[in-house]
Amino acid sequence: MRDINAAAGRRVAVIRRAFSSVPMDYSFSAMAAKPGQPVSGTVEIRKSRWIIPGSPVTLPLQENNTVSAGFWNTFMSVDVVPDVDVVITTGGWSIHNLRTILLLAVVVVVIAAVMAFVYST
């Protein structure tokens, strides 16, 4: 886990993803630096469709935030612009359909082994 201090009105990089096609959910939390202040601001998400940049999506900053990256989102960036000073905690992520990805990896390895055996004889 990593804490990022973000000043009000300043853009802060929270998540950077490059050269990855594994579908994942990334989560981060935001807490006001001064107790009692409400968390507010914007979250700007930029995703690519493989190598073609997509349009940015802007969402309101909440205490708990989750951003999903799909199979075709090879590049993704998430920036936060808070309205008040906040501390952002990152580090949470989960892989979508881990069993499916592992099964696909096993199938690819088996096919490669069969092809290597066939062409070596």
Name the domain count of the chain.
1
Q: Residue 110 falls within a domain, yes or no? A: no
Question: Which residues form the domain of 66?
Answer: 2-96
- In this structure, what CATH number is given to the domain that contains residue 90? 2.60.120
pLDDT(1) > 80: no
Q: Residue 32 falls within a domain, yes or no? A: yes
Q: Residue 106 falls within a domain, yes or no? A: no
Please give the average per-residue pLDDT across 40-57, as a whole number: 91
Q: Residue 113 falls within a domain, yes or no? A: no
Give the pLDDT confidence of 55-98 residue by residue, as tens digits.
999 999 999 999 999 888 989 999 999 999 999 999 766 666 66
Q: Residue 120 falls within a domain, yes or no? A: no
Q: Residue 119 falls within a domain, yes or no? A: no
* pTM, full prediction: 0.73
Q: Which whole-number Å values give the CA distances from 45 to 37, 69, 106, in the listed order?
A: 24, 10, 33
Q: Residue 85 falls within a domain, yes or no? A: yes
Q: Residue 13 falls within a domain, yes or no? A: yes
